[in-house]
Amino acid sequence: MQERALAFGFRPADPSVPIKTQDAANPFTRLAPQGIQVDVPPVAEVPEGPVVRNLLTMWSRVVGTAR
């Protein structure tokens, strides 16, 4: 399923699934001459556990009040 998702530009969650393939529908291979990159550098550090927990708590409160 992850290989099929490549045709829509999704990156696989499973690192053993290659991003670039010989499939003509694979946009990562097909659009490489136009500048699409496989290796994208991180733009931010991964937040620590307490930060993620607080974000999830806040999100639950906002979504819970919007209903």
Q: What is the pLDDT of residues 8-40, one digit of tens each?
A: 888 888 888 888 888 888 888 889 899 988 887
Please, what's the b/e burial string for 12-28 (b: 16 or more CB within 10 A of its CB; e: otherwise)?
eeeeeeeeeeeeeebbb
Task: Check: pTM over 0.75? Answer yes or no.
Answer: no
Q: How far apart are CA 64 and CA 67, in angstroms?
A: 6
Residue 67 predicted with pLDDT over 80:
no
